Chains A and B, each alone.
Chain A
Amino acid sequence: MNTPPINIVLGVIGFDCHSVGNKILEAFFTEQGFKVTNLGVMVSQEEFLQAAIETGAKAILVSSLYGHGEIDCVGLREKCREQGLDDILLYVGGNLVVGKTPFEQVEAKFKAMGYDRVFGPDCDLATVARLLREDLAARQRAD
């Protein structure tokens, strides 16, 4: 019996309209066998949550390109908990800060906000997909 595909939700957070990377991510993860609900650009935290609840998503992949990622992304984990999405995976990627902050610092900052994994603009998507599968499997084992 084939198992139903895993639902993930995708979108560019805040008032960010950079749409090219978002389209690439949708195509990539669909090809990888995920059921992708792509919310497109300018997505609010509430929209991410609503879509994740209805689709029973196991992960939310947040993009931020325009430099306001820190402000836009803070609080999403808390909102997830509040809505009962206790063990949903949160990934974030893109151009997460303005200026020349070293990536390690950026990563630490977003992890402290509750994101499970943090990626820069030139991450390798195949690696991302592999990590996502491993993380999902680990979550399932924990259940």
Chain B
Amino acid sequence: MDRPALPPTDRAAERAAERPSVARPDDHAPTLAIGLDIGSTFTKGALFRLGPGDPCLLRRAATPTTTAHLPDGAGTVIRHLLDLPPAWTWEDLPRTSLPSSVGAGDGQTSDEVRPLPPIHFTSSAKGGLRVAVVGLVPELSVQIGRLVAWSAGARLTGTYSYRLTDSALAEIEQTRPDIVLWCGGTDGGHERSGRENAQRLARSSYDGTLIYAGNALLADEVRQTLAHKRLVVTANVMPEFGRFNGEPAREAIRTIFLQTIVQGKGLDRLAALTGTEPVPTPRAMFDLVGAIADHCPDWREFIAIDLGGATTDVYSCAPAFRGGEGLRLRGLVEPERKRSVEGDLGLRISASALAAVLAGDDVPVTTVGLPPVTPTALAAWVERVGAHPETLPASPEEEAADAWLAAGCIRHALRRHAGRLEPVWLPEGQVWVQTGKDLRPVPRLVLTGGYPAAHPRLPLFELAEPAARRAPELLVPQAPRCFVDHLYLWPLLGPLVARFPAAAARLAVASLTAVPAVASCPDVPHTATTDKESHPCEILSDSL
């Protein structure tokens, strides 16, 4: 702050002039802001009033994603949010000012020309950000690579350890991830597999981007061997044994997302006109979860579960290990902020994979408050929704099948995200060895996603992990208070964290609804009478 600001160079000034006039964030006045999420099927958006005081939601809109050219759908949503005339398109952004009907009462006079609010957006279109992880030891560098990729908002297409085999390489060539995040070896540590993998990757036909984030001693050699490939070299994700250093690789993933993945389908043009950079949708969610832990005093420790049709994502903010008499941590100390993604746990596209996981469960298919689901009914439902993801339950049995699958996603996603305890008998008595994160005391759990939003009163956590059956060796939360993102705002607040971290975090928490305690729950989940997503454009006219 004490250095004098340099005058802008001519080129910077030129670039600034090309940008639309957007409101600058202001610490003192309330600010309007738009969050957009360009998903694979729907493009959604919301207009918020942020800044100090009580942030609130003003309007929402959604439209089917225009997959051939993404800005068209985004433009439709912006047009609805800002009350712009029907002929308006996103290409008019630089020439548009804010209509007087929008966000009135902010102290401006109505004839003042007001700039458009800042527009921040995320994208999971084109299948999201697909990353393969190549590392050395599965429990060490491979696991760190997974955690880094997940926290960058990626979906993993595969993980590979030690030396890349022919079949592993063939799999990478065939699945063509956007990025191969390649690590292994501490700095000055293991070299042989890294060297061999460099040569094997050099010969492969893989043509995406390689990020090398392993043993720094090999970096020059890797650059030489892979000179003909798209390669980014960053600092080691594990420079010393057990030490995490995820940020440089995360930043590399973000840059590659912007430079290569966002190109095409018009996202780069939209970014140029809004003056903001798109973020992968799950990375925005990760940033939102972190901002909540930073800015909301009661929310320093919590878990969020994003329940989707294809994946279930778990985010935790909590220390991994809390120590205690007779407790010892084995293996990596996992990071306080962690995201995991389960590609086989989802309510629609992944329903059949999920059913296979649930088939091995020790929890019976009937449980509190739901009509029994017979295995045949469940199988029929799974087959239908897998083939037709837009299917909605039409009977109490189908409602129950859907609820059962949702609970199954939560159960397994949480169990895989959380750590475990193993009893050990020593000469002086029993002790426990912990691996992974101890989430038992985490006091709050948030469910977000289309399904929880449509069933905010359903005790999904209780269905997933009935208190009576909770196994002591699983380090899942013991008695969290459960909340639902019933307006499904979190994906739209995520992109705004980059600019308004505190206000976005406060609004994210304020917009939650508490799940009633089990005793007061309805016996049967109420039938979803409206599918929010089936309306091409839903406009809510005012705040929460």
Interface set of A (CB-CB < 8 Å, partner B): 4-5, 7, 15, 17, 35, 37, 42, 44, 46-47, 50-51, 53-57, 66, 84
Can you list 19 A-B pairs with a CB-CB distance of less than 8 A?
Answer: A4-B217, A7-B188, A15-B426, A35-B188, A47-B330, A50-B140, A51-B140, A51-B241, A54-B136, A54-B137, A54-B140, A54-B185, A54-B186, A54-B190, A54-B241, A55-B186, A55-B190, A56-B188, A66-B427
Residues of chain B with a CB closer than 8 A to A51's CB: 140, 241
| Shortest distance from the beta carbon of A65 to any chain B beta carbon, whole Å | 12
**Contact assessment for A54 and B426 in the assembled complex, using a CB-CB cutoff below 8 Å:** no
Q: Which of B189, B217, B424 contacts A54 (CB 8 A)?
A: B189
**Contact assessment for A56 and B189 in the assembled complex, using a CB-CB cutoff below 8 Å:** yes
Q: Tell me if B191 is interfacial: C-beta within 8 Å of chain A.
A: yes
Find residues 215-273 in chain B having any chain A CB closer than 8 Å to their own CB: 215, 217, 238, 240-241
**Contact assessment for A56 and B137 in the assembled complex, using a CB-CB cutoff below 8 Å:** no
**Contact assessment for A50 and B190 in the assembled complex, using a CB-CB cutoff below 8 Å:** no
- In the complex, what distance in Å separates the CA atom of A32 from the CA atom of B280? 48
Residues of chain B with a CB closer than 8 A to A42's CB: 328, 330, 433
Q: Tell me if B141 is interfacial: C-beta within 8 Å of chain A.
A: yes
**Contact assessment for B330 and A56 in the assembled complex, using a CB-CB cutoff below 8 Å:** no
Q: Which of A47, A56, A84 contacts B331 (CB 8 A)?
A: A47
**Closest residue to A14 on the B side, CB-wise?**
B426
- In the complex, what distance in Å separates the CA atom of A44 from the CA atom of B329? 12
Interface set of B (CB-CB < 8 Å, partner A): 136-137, 139-141, 184-186, 188-192, 215, 217, 238, 240-241, 328, 330-331, 424, 426-427, 431, 433
**Closest residue to A4 on the B side, CB-wise?**
B188
Q: Which of B190, B328, B331, B426 contacts A53 (CB 8 A)?
A: B190
Residues of chain B with a CB closer than 8 A to A56's CB: 185-186, 188-191, 215
A4-B217, A15-B424, A51-B241 as given contacts; A44 in contact with B191, CB under 8 Å: no
- In the complex, what distance in Å separates the CA atom of A35 from the CA atom of B141? 19
**Closest residue to A38 on the B side, CB-wise?**
B241
| Shortest distance from the beta carbon of B162 to any chain A beta carbon, whole Å | 8
Of all A-B residue pairs in the complex, the 4 with the closest CB atoms, nearest first, are A56-B189, A56-B190, A55-B189, A37-B241
**Interface SS of chain B:** loop
- In the complex, what distance in Å separates the CA atom of A47 from the CA atom of B140? 10
- In the complex, what distance in Å separates the CA atom of A37 from the CA atom of B215? 15
| Shortest distance from the beta carbon of B524 to any chain A beta carbon, whole Å | 48
Residues of chain B with a CB closer than 8 A to A17's CB: 426
| Shortest distance from the beta carbon of B58 to any chain A beta carbon, whole Å | 51
| Shortest distance from the beta carbon of A105 to any chain B beta carbon, whole Å | 24
- In the complex, what distance in Å separates the CA atom of A46 from the CA atom of B424? 16
Residues of chain A with a CB closer than 8 A to B188's CB: 4-5, 7, 35, 55-56
**Contact assessment for B191 and A50 in the assembled complex, using a CB-CB cutoff below 8 Å:** no
**Contact assessment for B141 and A54 in the assembled complex, using a CB-CB cutoff below 8 Å:** yes
**Closest residue to A55 on the B side, CB-wise?**
B189
- In the complex, what distance in Å separates the CA atom of A21 from the CA atom of B116? 67
| Shortest distance from the beta carbon of A7 to any chain B beta carbon, whole Å | 6
**Closest residue to B214 on the A side, CB-wise?**
A54
Extra 8 A-B pairs, beta carbons < 8 Å, given A47-B330, A55-B188, A84-B192: A44-B330, A46-B139, A53-B137, A54-B140, A54-B189, A54-B190, A54-B238, A55-B185
- In the complex, what distance in Å separates the CA atom of A50 from the CA atom of B332? 11
| Shortest distance from the beta carbon of B144 to any chain A beta carbon, whole Å | 10
Pick from A50, A53, A66 the residue with the most CB of B within 10 Å. A53
| Shortest distance from the beta carbon of A60 to any chain B beta carbon, whole Å | 13
**Contact assessment for B136 and A53 in the assembled complex, using a CB-CB cutoff below 8 Å:** yes
| Shortest distance from the beta carbon of A143 to any chain B beta carbon, whole Å | 12
**Contact assessment for A7 and B330 in the assembled complex, using a CB-CB cutoff below 8 Å:** no
- In the complex, what distance in Å separates the CA atom of A8 from the CA atom of B98? 65
**Contact assessment for A54 and B427 in the assembled complex, using a CB-CB cutoff below 8 Å:** no
Residues of chain B with a CB closer than 8 A to A37's CB: 186, 240-241
Residues of chain A with a CB closer than 8 A to B328's CB: 42
| Shortest distance from the beta carbon of B482 to any chain A beta carbon, whole Å | 36
Residues of chain A with a CB closer than 8 A to B238's CB: 54
Residues of chain A with a CB closer than 8 A to B217's CB: 4
| Shortest distance from the beta carbon of B47 to any chain A beta carbon, whole Å | 49
- In the complex, what distance in Å separates the CA atom of A55 from the CA atom of B191? 9
Residues of chain A with a CB closer than 8 A to B241's CB: 37, 51, 54-55
A15-B426, A44-B330 as given contacts; A50 in contact with B139, CB under 8 Å: yes
| Shortest distance from the beta carbon of A50 to any chain B beta carbon, whole Å | 5
Residues of chain B with a CB closer than 8 A to A44's CB: 330
Residues of chain B with a CB closer than 8 A to A35's CB: 188
| Shortest distance from the beta carbon of B443 to any chain A beta carbon, whole Å | 30
| Shortest distance from the beta carbon of A47 to any chain B beta carbon, whole Å | 7
- In the complex, what distance in Å separates the CA atom of A44 from the CA atom of B185? 20
Residues of chain B with a CB closer than 8 A to A50's CB: 137, 139-140
- In the complex, what distance in Å separates the CA atom of A55 from the CA atom of B424? 28
| Shortest distance from the beta carbon of A98 to any chain B beta carbon, whole Å | 11
**Closest residue to A17 on the B side, CB-wise?**
B426
Residues of chain A with a CB closer than 8 A to B424's CB: 15
Residues of chain A with a CB closer than 8 A to B141's CB: 54
- In the complex, what distance in Å separates the CA atom of A42 from the CA atom of B238? 23
| Shortest distance from the beta carbon of A127 to any chain B beta carbon, whole Å | 27
**Contact assessment for A54 and B330 in the assembled complex, using a CB-CB cutoff below 8 Å:** no
**Closest residue to B190 on the A side, CB-wise?**
A56
- In the complex, what distance in Å separates the CA atom of A37 from the CA atom of B192? 19
- In the complex, what distance in Å separates the CA atom of A42 from the CA atom of B184? 25
- In the complex, what distance in Å separates the CA atom of A50 from the CA atom of B140? 7
- In the complex, what distance in Å separates the CA atom of A57 from the CA atom of B186? 10
| Shortest distance from the beta carbon of A132 to any chain B beta carbon, whole Å | 18
